[in-house]
Structure 1
């Protein structure tokens, strides 16, 4: 790969988010790379992108998108260059739908490895915006991207606003206040891969996931509404070994109408519901003090764990 010290050409803008714009570029040796620039020349926008660049540089690893160098847009905006990937998990799910569990687990493991390195970099460090769109792919290699909301210490709470906060549907009920929030968001990403759905604005019958026991248990623990009861990322990686061991056969994921199902050997049943953000809707008329979790379409008890829908 070129060291990118020579002039480069902007080929096209291919994405834009709250913090900046992404361009497909080519260097003097015709090697493709991606460049991110602030949306405007305001001091706030430029500082936020500079902060993101520094975080990306600090968190370099095998499962984090590779940083190249600082670059400047022809209009004067300062940005940074990174390796060009083929697409994202969001694009893969949009194109292909539900991902077969063994393939999903392979991609998920890589994402968790990258995220675990971020958490290990400093006490209380977390990414803050884990979602399908922020896991980039090249073939079957998966890498974390977009460190615009990453934080390096406990107590730096994310809040919704023009440039703050995570993504509705992926946010834990307590908000992004600690590394355990990333664990919740990672669980939502795993659900998204297995179900073939983005975790928001879903109406109508949603997929029934015939998960095997250890995968089901891992997913429900990662999505526990009580942050203190979620596993750490090293624990997730350790448990993934047992999950992978039980997946020697293809598991079909099919659509299903809503019905009752327990938490034993059955899978996660997603009923008819709107999946909207991390809202927690009370269902007092259904008895037992159960609470409906629209994120995964199941009821939870006071201990935060899934309960039978009946």
Structure 2
């Protein structure tokens, strides 16, 4: 089922000022949009957190602090923040819009960069990070996704040496003394670029950003990061246990100066790295000067990085050291870096196979004790046997954990209401994340789970987050008001709603142009399911015959005119004070267009209503006259005595006569 829906924020105006015109990128916790500041008429980037994060008080606080943090940094290589606010309860930032691409996009396209290009980008990166370090801030998430490469003055991002680089997303920065592990125990960093001390001790300072910058340089030169594994935690611990390999081992031909620069920036012991981004920037600039033009590259291969002894590939023979002095080979280790057993790691970083055992750092590992003879031989054999047995148990236990022990079946949350699904997932030890777009369903109630990922019963790691899609209920669409639309537009409007278009029998119209919708069946507003049919009645334009004016004509004359035009008269008699058989009104009105054989309704006068003659015999003659005149009749008096009594009348009593008809009275 296709659950793709349009982003409802596109086209919205935020705070009456920022009109969103498109989506730039979507991250795990926030989405970045392109918008126009209609007050100042400039493009901006608007970053708004996802609704799923709005309830995370700690994250919202960090997000809000991002504006204040960057406001402290005024530097051409730092993405500026202009404004902050809330939209429908969701915090947002208004930032500088950088026309260009991220370094990640460039690496995806180019795979790797030339040394000159890589150093040019790294210089500007470090200039931005150095500004943060001077302000007492640590970025903690230096990676290609947070490096924006703007269009160069010469045009485009192909000329990387002249391109403008800006560092974004300082929202994770903290004062140097602050912890890098948040209240939930989650490390605020990306494992591919994370420094060893951040993994081991959960602490970061300026040298942590130096390490990450060194990894970014490694990736720009080689096209890949130094470590990879299926488990992100294992990737993080490889930074602790291994030295970053020389870039030239993966990209032969790179100058040795670049190998040395990467090695110095990525020392596992923080005290052996440059103290901050500014110091590393000085070394980068020196290497850039050393490399110079292509003609100097060959010389640079043998030239060490300033401030560090030259590195040679020659094999060195290490003399045997007596057992008493064996520990002298182990360099001093700063406090907090001697051992990092599972109990000392952040909770998120404990590998299942380690349990509570120790995993010493490589620069804190002990040297093997020299072989001793005689008294200790048996003891060594016993110890070796015990170690082999222990290793077997660990291997078997680790294998079980990695293949079976840490996995379980995903619970079935489909058809459960939202609240019940959350409770069920929580009871089973799983987190829940909702997809932004729901899905229509005829069988699953609204706000219940339609589907989940991983699917029910699928084997998943314990504690994994399940992504749920909620039902929007049955898909129904209201028939739109299509009146006045042309046929093509009406058809498109219905097809957008997955409704079928059907043309009904056309009708003539004196007001609606030909080919334009007169009406629909069902009517506008009626709710239909996808695939239902809407019948559309289109206008045929004005009918060919014009109805004449027949009002005031005798019915016989009116009939003749209609018959000559091929029309039919439909007559209705009406009481009227107009003469009998006179046409009083007509439908359709004069001038209307009708088809041949159409019926024209005529209202025809029956004449004035008849009057019933009152009975006035044996009444005084003058009284009888008044009664008749009151009934709308005229009176004629005859006989010998006009003031006498009525002896006879004509017409007779109760006769029906026209108004004002004469009545003769005989009085004696």
* TM-score normalized by the length of structure 1: 0.72
Aligned equivalents of 1:167 and 1:301: distance in 2?
22
SS in 2 for 1:11: strand
Q: CA deviation at 1:198?
A: 4.4
Q: CA deviation at 1:213?
A: 2.9
Match of 2:215 among 188, 194, 197: 188
Q: CA deviation at 1:42?
A: 2.3
Say if 2:67 is the partner of 1:60. Answer: no
Question: Do the aligned partners of residues 303 and 63 (structure 1) sit closer, same or farther apart at CA in structure 2, a change above 3 Å counting?
Answer: farther
Say if 2:110 is the partner of 1:104. Answer: no
SS in 1 for 2:193: coil
Q: CA deviation at 1:190?
A: 0.6
Q: CA deviation at 1:264?
A: 3.4
User: In structure 2, what is the equivalent of residue 173 of structure 1?
Assistant: 196
Structure 1 unmatched ranges of 5 or more: 252-262, 267-299, 305-310
After TM superposition, the structure 1 stretch with the greater mean CA deviation from structure 2, 22-31 or 172-181, is 22-31
1:131-280 to 2 correspondence within 5 Å?
131-139=143-151, 140-158=163-181, 164-175=187-198, 176-198=203-225, 201=228, 207-232=250-275, 233-247=277-291, 248-249=293-294, 264=312
Aligned equivalents of 1:18 and 1:149: distance in 2?
14
Kindly indicate whether the alpha-carbon contact (under 8 Å) linking 2:62 and 2:172 is maintained by their aligned counterparts in 1.
Answer: no
Question: Do the aligned partners of residues 264 and 231 (structure 1) sit closer, same or farther apart at CA in structure 2, a change above 3 Å counting?
Answer: same
Match of 2:19 among 9, 19, 25: 9
Structure 2 unmatched ranges of 5 or more: 1-13, 152-162, 231-248, 298-310, 315-360, 366-668
Aligned equivalents of 1:187 and 1:239: distance in 2?
12
Kindly indicate whether the alpha-carbon contact (under 8 Å) linking 2:17 and 2:37 is maintained by their aligned counterparts in 1.
Answer: yes
Aligned equivalents of 1:162 and 1:303: distance in 2?
26
Q: CA deviation at 1:234?
A: 2.5
Aligned equivalents of 1:160 and 1:189: distance in 2?
28
Question: Do the aligned partners of residues 39 and 129 (structure 1) sit closer, same or farther apart at CA in structure 2, a change above 3 Å counting?
Answer: same
User: In structure 1, what is the equivalent of residue 107 of structure 2?
Assistant: 93
User: In structure 2, what is the equivalent of residue 307 of structure 1?
Assistant: none
Aligned equivalents of 2:72 and 2:179: distance in 1?
18
Q: Deviations over 1:206-226 (max 9, x none)?
A: 832533233221210111010
Q: Deviations over 1:15-34 (max 9, x none)?
A: 23344221111222653211
Aligned equivalents of 1:170 and 1:146: distance in 2?
15
User: In structure 2, what is the equivalent of residue 79 of structure 1?
Assistant: 92
SS in 2 for 1:143: strand
SS in 1 for 2:191: coil
After TM superposition, the structure 1 stretch with the greater mean CA deviation from structure 2, 193-202 or 113-122, is 193-202
Q: Deviations over 1:74-94 (max 9, x none)?
A: x34231111112221111101
Question: Do the aligned partners of residues 143 and 236 (structure 1) sit closer, same or farther apart at CA in structure 2, a change above 3 Å counting?
Answer: same
Aligned equivalents of 1:225 and 1:95: distance in 2?
31
User: In structure 1, what is the equivalent of residue 55 of structure 2?
Assistant: 42
Say if 2:152 is the partner of 1:129. Answer: no
Q: Deviations over 1:86-128 (max 9, x none)?
A: 2211111011111111011111000001101100112xx3111
What is the root-mean-square deviation of aligned Cα atoms in Å? 3.1
Q: CA deviation at 1:7?
A: 1.6
SS in 2 for 1:182: helix
Kindly indicate whether the alpha-carbon contact (under 8 Å) linking 1:132 and 1:192 is maintained by their aligned counterparts in 2.
Answer: no
SS in 2 for 1:9: strand
Say if 2:75 is the partner of 1:31. Answer: no
Aligned equivalents of 1:209 and 1:202: distance in 2?
24
After TM superposition, the structure 1 stretch with the greater mean CA deviation from structure 2, 18-27 or 129-138, is 18-27
Kindly indicate whether the alpha-carbon contact (under 8 Å) linking 1:19 and 1:48 is maintained by their aligned counterparts in 2.
Answer: no
Kindly indicate whether the alpha-carbon contact (under 8 Å) linking 2:62 and 2:171 is maintained by their aligned counterparts in 1.
Answer: yes
Q: CA deviation at 1:157?
A: 2.9
Question: Do the aligned partners of residues 238 and 18 (structure 1) sit closer, same or farther apart at CA in structure 2, a change above 3 Å counting?
Answer: same
Aligned equivalents of 1:164 and 1:148: distance in 2?
14
SS in 2 for 1:231: coil
SS in 1 for 2:261: helix
Q: Deviations over 1:236-270 (max 9, x none)?
A: 1222232112321197xxxxxxxxxxx5389xxxx
Kindly indicate whether the alpha-carbon contact (under 8 Å) linking 2:86 and 2:92 is maintained by their aligned counterparts in 1.
Answer: yes
Kindly indicate whether the alpha-carbon contact (under 8 Å) linking 2:20 and 2:36 is maintained by their aligned counterparts in 1.
Answer: yes
Aligned equivalents of 1:155 and 1:43: distance in 2?
20
Aligned equivalents of 1:183 and 1:303: distance in 2?
22
Aligned equivalents of 2:145 and 2:44: distance in 1?
18
SS in 2 for 1:82: strand
Kindly indicate whether the alpha-carbon contact (under 8 Å) linking 2:67 and 2:83 is maintained by their aligned counterparts in 1.
Answer: no
**Structure with bigger gyration radius:** 2
User: In structure 2, what is the equivalent of residue 294 of structure 1?
Assistant: none
SS in 1 for 2:139: coil
SS in 1 for 2:32: strand
* TM-score normalized by the length of structure 2: 0.35
